[in-house]
Structure 1
Amino acid sequence: MRWCEQWPERRFAVEGAGGLGRLLAQQLAAAGESVVDAPSTLSARARLLATGGDRKTDAADALHVAQVALFRQDLRPVAQEDQTTILRLLTERRDDLVHERTRVLNRLHAVLRDLVPGGAPTGLSADKAATVMKGIRPVTATDSCRRDIARDLLADLRRLDRQVKDNEAEMREAVAATRTTLTTLPGLGIVLAAKVIGHVGGATRFPTEHHFAGYTGSAPLDVGKTSWQLPLDTQRR
């Protein structure tokens, strides 16, 4: 930053500002600097045109990223992280917790299957598992080991249930802070609204609604009209 002070009018271009360059880009944005995101695909094209190959060096990469920023005026400005980033982090954390809970639940079900005649009931939960385990009377040392493991898994399951519940409470507060109206749409609750806001990061980053549709994968394909005819035997039937 001291080196850059010699240019009062300056702009920073960071390759992959949403990925590996996120930390640097966010530090610059937090300092009030003008920062744009230079996609790696564009810098790779600049490198190919300049050298005719794909050799990479730090100095050459910096030059090619700067060239992209000079000639492309439509690069996305980097905004300082806000509530949308918090929502993305919370939803990603929730996904991790839910996946771990599913794994523990499946493992607990497998252990109870070997302890309870007929196996554990479907739709297993922490409370249902605790009820089942109250009636377990191990006969062998192996069954005693299974019971102890089941107790540990039940404790893990209860902990994960609490963490998922706490995560959703944080998510609810974070969604409320955005003052979004997404939750007024039928069938769109707190978790889904948090995912949409957290991963989209604000619809204003898209030039048009068509760009947004392309980003979400909901843009219809222009397949055109195709004429076809059923086989003769199908028509007769």
Structure 2
Amino acid sequence: MHGACRERQGLKKAGRRPHPGSCANRAGTIILPDMTDDTLSGTGPKTAGAAAGKPAADAPPEYAEQARKLEKIRKKLAKKQEKELLGTSRGIETMFRNASRANYQLIAFADNKASIMITVNGFILSVLMASIGSTFNHTPWLVLPSFSFMLTSIVSIFYSVLAAYPRVSEKKITIQDVRDMKPEANILFFGTSANMSEEDYLKVTEEMMKDQNFLYRTMAQDNRNLGKMLLRKFKMLSLAYRVFLFGLTITLVLAVSSYIANT
């Protein structure tokens, strides 16, 4: 037998663990190191430590270093995934926040435009009504243009008031209406919460806070309702400005033609 093999057997008889390398006899037969049943079954201390992501106590230094590196990589990947999920959630919330802010700013802008139209046309209407008596006596050719401008101001004020007119429903809202995502049942709108009982409102709010999908759908529905409100306001404002522009043009044409006809 080869000298290395004899040395190996001597170590085994002495109760010492031989080197885990293999040795061969002169005939070329390979003698493998002894392996216990625990090692073969994978339940030994080394395997259990590796499964837990930690190096075993009797593992070589290079194995322990590799295990520590793998554990660091695993923790980095977990933190990266958590940051990606957090970033996605923040992005969605930022999107809804910006959309809602823009809609409310446009609503304030539309109401301001309507207020300006009401003020201007109201002033014009009051001046014309105050001076219409003297107009009949001194400048009768201005009567027709004056009536045209008065009619223009009245119609323009009418559409401006419709643009600024708030629509609030007094219909009672139930929890099922909110769950069914009905357009008139959005708890982010004050009209809905005011038409619900306090118990139903608190219950559906708690459900919404627990269900992220329900929360995002409610926010999306609220933005859509704001968009529909804006569309109605700007349609009325557009009609008010068109009527004012068209009436002003007609009034000027009538004034010029009446002046030419009376000179």
- TM-score between the two structures when normalised by the length of structure 2: 0.24
TM-score computed with the length of structure 1 as normaliser: 0.27
Q: Radius of gyration: which is bigger?
A: 2
